[in-house]
Amino acid sequence: MKLAVVLMTLGGLGLALWLVLTNNTGAIFGAFAAVGWGLLAITLVRLLILFLCGTGWSLLLRRQVSLPLSAYLSVRYIREAINVMLPVASVGGDIAGVRLITFWGVPAGLAGASILVDLLLQASGQAVFAAMGALLLAQVAGAEALVGWVLSGLGVAAIALIGFYLVQRLGGVDLMERTIARLLALLARSAAAGRPLGLDAGLRAIWADPWAVAWAFVLHLLAWLVGVLEIWIALAAMGYPGSLFAAAIIESLGQALRGAASAVPGALGVQEGGFVVLGHLLGIDPETAIALSLVKRVPDIVLGLPGLLGWYWLESRRGAIAPASLGE
């Protein structure tokens, strides 16, 4: 497993470097530099996205525990930092999130269940967002083949999401429960691997509040839509003003590609290549497309490093955190 991660990381990095070196490197960094203070605005947009996601997660547990919103926002921020900064296939941060939210006294089964539902809603929102992007891309001349591939991928994703939903609603979470328990034991350096968490009971409690689930989905979908602003700000600074149409296509399908390539740490190289393909269809030169991908990585690093430090800090304060009051 470790060797596979190393090989995928090196392969992705090699692809990214190849794309940079085989195009006009000066133009790439010139386009990147043109964004200037726009990088700050893009980072603030990313913080807004995390706020929406954290708030959506908090709704799922509104009946079961009484926690300050800051707890959810802090842990959601750390979840994201781990997923984008460490080679954990975009799920390690969520496993860590289960452990971290228990520091406030949330039962492990309820914490794990909330993460599973949150991930389902996040992925469902992304699927809807990608479908919107495909509809927009269908208006672009010469994009028919790519639209077909996107729709095929969305079909597979829909089947997977329905399966994930049915597992949560109809039972059958035993394998997930054992896996999460083992990973939590590794994080805690404990010998308690395999201990039952009570995911079934937690899932039943969360799904018993359909309005909370619905609003959480709306917030996740809104978060995906807000992400379009990151691309729009960057494109405007690079000399493509008023390109909201292009920004929506690049963000929606770029995120879908990044999700599909989650096995490659940070989707290195994959994101850059995808941006070049989409940019070509939208009349954006390869140098600008690559620079755009690099701009998207700035908030990952700027927010990711403090997030990793926050993880360490939160682990060190575990015993000092006031426990939540349990509800229904």
Read off the pLDDT of residues 154-202 as tens digits, 9 standing for 90 and up.
Answer: 999 999 999 989 988 887 676 666 767 676 666 665 444 445 567 888 8
The C-alpha atoms of residue 128 and residue 133 are separated, in whole angstroms, by 9
Total domains in the chain come to 1
Half-sphere exposure of 32 (CA within 13 A, CB side): 17
> Is the residue at 4 inside a domain?
no
Using alpha carbons only, give the angle 124, 127, 128 rounded to the nearest 5 degrees. Answer: 90
Buried b (16+ CB within 10 A) or exposed e, 276-291: bbbbebbebbbbbbbb
> Is the residue at 323 inside a domain?
no
Which pLDDT value is given to residue 170? 81
> What would the pLDDT profile of 20-68 be if each residue is shown by its tens digit?
888 889 999 999 999 999 999 999 999 999 999 999 999 999 988 889 9
Buried b (16+ CB within 10 A) or exposed e, 198-209: ebbebbebbbeb
Q: Taking the model in full, what pTM does it have?
A: 0.90
> Is the residue at 320 inside a domain?
no
Instruction: Report whether 261 contacts 80 (CB < 8 A).
Output: no
For residue 222, what are the domain limits?
A: 9-306
> Is the residue at 328 inside a domain?
no
> Is the residue at 216 inside a domain?
yes
For the chain, which ranges sit under pLDDT 50? 190-194
> Is the residue at 319 inside a domain?
no
> Is the residue at 71 inside a domain?
yes
Locate the DSSP E strands across 88-191. none
Which pLDDT value is given to residue 109? 87
> Is the residue at 313 inside a domain?
no
Which pLDDT value is given to residue 284? 94
Which pLDDT value is given to residue 1? 57
